[in-house]
Amino acid sequence: MYKKTNPEIWQGRTDHNTDSTYFRYHQIVQVATTIKQGAIGLIGFACDEGVRRNNGRVGAKDAPDTLRKQLAPLPWRNHNHENSLIDLGNIICEGHELEHAQRELGDKVSDIVTKGKAIVLGGGHETLYGQYLGVRKAVGPDASIGLLNIDAHFDMRSYDKQTSSGTMFKQILDEDPNAHYFVCGIQQYGNTTALFNTADQYNVQYFLDEQLDSAQFTTALNDFMDAHDVLLVTLCMDVLNAAEAPGVSAPSPFGLSALKVRGILRQMVSHKKTVSFSICEVNPSLDVGNRTEKLGAYFINEVIMNSFE
């Protein structure tokens, strides 16, 4: 189900009403139902049915509007603000209708990508499958898509019984010979040996959390990005250290620092081939002092600012 964003969500301090050098996000964003040429479109995915199916802790369905509220008061630091950021509302998963909601999200993402760039506010990481459907629809069947994931987990479980927030990348690789998967931040003890074997079987390029300072990682990431026609980026917030991001379904005590994730994100989203980004697994019901929500908003800001370069 589609629902337009309530403009009242976008509130914050106003330092000046006309001088754009004082503006904050709430003074820039436009709430609408259609995207404009060259704009960045925000679309929410209010869903955690995939997390429920994966036996995780639900609550991420409330994240899209919470992330908007945290983003609203941040300073707008880009000189371009004409038609540059448009909030296109939320796709809401009704009941257990995950697959239907993912298709709806895909249609919205496709509409955005045909004119600009799409930022998806999840939701559980099942958000990624809908994001992928939209990018594939927009770029056609023959374009090679590079799937870039910052995550502690592979999300390549079997989906013989049902899909979930832990199956999306396997679904995509099974369906699409022109899609390839690169994931960084993998926790050695956060995935079974069977999942490592599955990743190897599907020729996934992956780097453990402890390998991300290596020249090998930087070279591999750059080579992967350059090798594809289109790039899709997704961030699962459970990749972060639990002290910095406690509000996630599966917190990680040995996760990455926010600064490390910011650096990787900047590299990924500033690439000229990147057309879409999603942030997933922010769970407001589990957060402590809005810590994870605020960090998520700062990551979204990084993506937006680097996407205009």
Q: What's the pLDDT at 81?
A: 63
Report, as an integer, the average pLDDT of 38-56: 96
Tokens at 243, concatenated = 């002290």
pLDDT bucket at 78, cuts 50 / 70 / 90: confident
pLDDT at 279 > cutoff 60: yes
Please indicate whether residue 307 or residue 284 has the higher confidence score (pLDDT): 284
Residues 27-38 have a mean pLDDT of 94
CATH number of the domain enclosing 126 = 3.40.800.10
User: Would you list the DSSP string of 172-232?
Assistant: HHHH-TTEEEEEEEE-TTSS-HHHHHHHHHTT-EEEEGGGTTSHHHHHHHHHHHHT-SEEE
**Per the domain annotation, does 248 fall within a domain?**
yes
State the average pLDDT over residues 26-33: 96
Residue 60 burial by CB count (10 A; 0-12/13-18/19+): exposed, middle or buried?
A: buried
Tell me the C-alpha distance between 254 and 203, whole Å: 26
User: What is the model's pLDDT at position 309?
Assistant: 54
How many CA atoms within 13 Å lie on the side-chain side of 258?
16
Structural domain includes residue 196: no
As a whole number of angstroms, the distance between CA 62 and CA 124 comes to 10
Question: Does 249 reside within a domain?
Answer: yes
187 located within any domain: no
- Between helices 127-139 and 168-175, what is the axis angle to 10°? 30
User: Residue 307 has what pLDDT?
Assistant: 85
Question: Residue with structure tokens 């990787």?
Answer: 264
Asked if residue 83 is part of any domain, the answer here is: yes
40-46 and 85-92 beta bridge pairing: parallel
In a domain, 67, yes or no: yes
What share of the chain in percent tops pLDDT 90?
A: 96
Question: pLDDT at residue 236 above 60?
Answer: yes
Predicted TM-score of the model (pTM): 0.97
Q: How many angstroms separate the first and last alpha carbons of the chain?
A: 34
**46: in domain:** yes
Q: Are 10 and 66 in contact (CB under 8 A)?
A: no
66 located within any domain:
yes
| pLDDT score at 118 | 98
According to the model, what pLDDT value does residue 79 have?
72
Contact 24, 72 (CB under 8 A): yes
| Structural domain boundaries, residue 249 | 2-142+233-307
pLDDT in tens, 167-224: 999 999 999 999 999 999 999 999 999 999 999 999 999 999 999 999 999 999 999 9
- For residues 86 and 32, the answer to whether their CB atoms sit within 8 Å is yes
Residue-by-residue DSSP string for 71-121? HTTSB---S--TT-EEEEEEEE--TT-HHHHHHHHHHHHHHHHTTSEEEEE
Asked whether 68 and 45 are in contact (CB, 8 A), the reply is: no
- Write down the pLDDT at residue 17: 95
* DSSP secondary structure of 232-252: EEEEEGGGBBTTT---SSS-B
- Please give the tally of structural domains in the chain: 1
The residue count of the chain comes to 309
pLDDT recorded at residue 83 = 59
Distance CA 22, CA 27 (A): 10
* Averaged confidence pLDDT in the chain: 96
Residue 8 has a pLDDT of 97
